Structure formats: C-alpha cells, structure tokens
Structure 1
Amino acid sequence: MLEILRDRGVEFDVVEYLKHPLTRTDLERIVDAIPDEPAELVRKDKRFGELGLDAGDHTTKEAVVDLLLEHPELMQRPIVFKGDDALICRPSDKVLAFLD
C-alpha cells in the first residue's frame, strides 16, 4: 500500500493506531466517511473468535466504535482518506481507483 502511494507521488500520513490509540471522535469520523456499513470496519478473524464475539452484535456505528475502542487490533486496515471520504483499501490496489 505505501509503495503504491509513493509510486504515485501521493503525500500521506501513517497513523500507528496501536501505538497511539484513536479516540471515539476519530473512530466515528472513520465510520461516517467509509461507504460501507459500520460492521465492515471490523476484522472477523481469529482474534475476533478468540474474544467470543458475535458479528451480529457489532453492526451499528455505536457498537463498532465501542468495540474498536476496546479492541483496536480488530480494525480493518489500511484505511485511506481523501478529503472527507475514506475507503478500507483491502486489497491494497483498491486505493488506485479511490485516488483517481
């Protein structure tokens, strides 16, 4: 992802949210900016299962934000912002269409 941005000469900031946790306001901004349903922001991987979570319990904006405040490692990434819009760029090449 970073290589794609560099190759296109795009200036960007990397937010290391596990080292510097996002605030409720930050997470609400992300949820509001992505075109997907809030639940798409949550990784439903092994860790999700280890925590005994149920995807059906994390579908609303408030529930997703609460979950990611407690378990930031479950956030889908990378997320790219362009102005007020954002996209979960997984797979990474989704960023190309988003930036055009």
Structure 2
Amino acid sequence: MTVTIFHNPVCSTSRKTLEALGAAGAKPVIVEYLKTGWTKLQLQDLLKQLKLTPRDILRTKGALAGELGLLEDGVSDDRILDAMVEHPVLVERPIVVGPKGAVVARPIERFAEVL
C-alpha cells in the first residue's frame, strides 16, 4: 500500500498523523513540503484528488494569508495557488494520499479514509 504524507515536522497534528499512520501499518513516503516546496501543477493535481479548491486548503492560521490579501472575497484560485508556491506554509497540513484518495488529516483520524 503506497501512502504519502505531506508533512511539517514542526506541526503537532502532522507529527501525530505520521505516528498514527505507522501504528496502522503504513510506511508512508514523507514529503517535507516546506523544504521541497510545491509546484502549481502538483497542487492542482493534489486538489483534484482532494476534491477541494485552493481556498479549501489555504492555511489561515497565522497572519500570512491575510497579509497577502488572500482572505478577501473574489481572490482567484490562481492567485492563491501562486501564493502557495511562493509560500509553502500556506497549504493546510497534513495531507495524506493513499489508495482510496486524499484527505487533509484534520482531525487526525481522517487519514483512515484513504487507506
């Protein structure tokens, strides 16, 4: 079973999800997206798997999204995606991709939906 977690080791939810994946018998591929960054195409593909929009996975905790004007009505998906590529921290975490699809694992237990 191939499982990938887009992981931020500083995030307690991400760390707990990684631990829960291991307890469930998964040996996930770990992508530390703050180090590797995102491409626009990669995010678009991930959004298709998630069945979500860029706004749905925009991390609004912290000031950056507001400072960049991304929380305003009418901001385009392209603008949000471009900001996510420039500032990878703007993507909500953790995202888990498994054989049954992809989820933002908030709450943590959601990871089981894709195994």
Q: TM-score range with shorter-chain normalisation?
A: 0.7 to 0.9
Q: Which runs of 5+ in 2 are unaligned?
A: 1-16
Give RMSD over aligned pairs.
2.1
Report runs of 4+ in structure 1 exceeding 3 Å deviation: none
Cα-to-partner distance string for 1:54-92 (whole Å, 9 max, x where unaligned)? 4224463x2331120122111100001124721111121
Q: 1:38/1:49 Cα in 2 relative to 1: closer, same or farther (>3 Å)?
A: closer
Equivalences for residues 43-82 of structure 1 within 5 A: 43-48=59-64, 51-55=67-71, 56-58=73-75, 60=77, 62-82=78-98
Provide the TM-score with structure 2 as the length reference.
0.72
Per the alignment, residue 37 of structure 2 pairs with 21
Contact 1:18–1:73 (CA<8 Å) still a contact in 2? yes
Could you tell me the percent identity over the aligned residues? 27
TM-score under structure 1 normalisation? Answer: 0.81
Residue number among 15, 19, 39 corresponding to 2:55 in the alignment: 39
Instruction: Count the aligned residue pairs.
Output: 98
Does the CA-based 8 Å contact 1:58-1:67 persist in structure 2?
Answer: no
SS at match of 1:80: strand
Whichever structure has more strand as a proportion of its residues is: 2
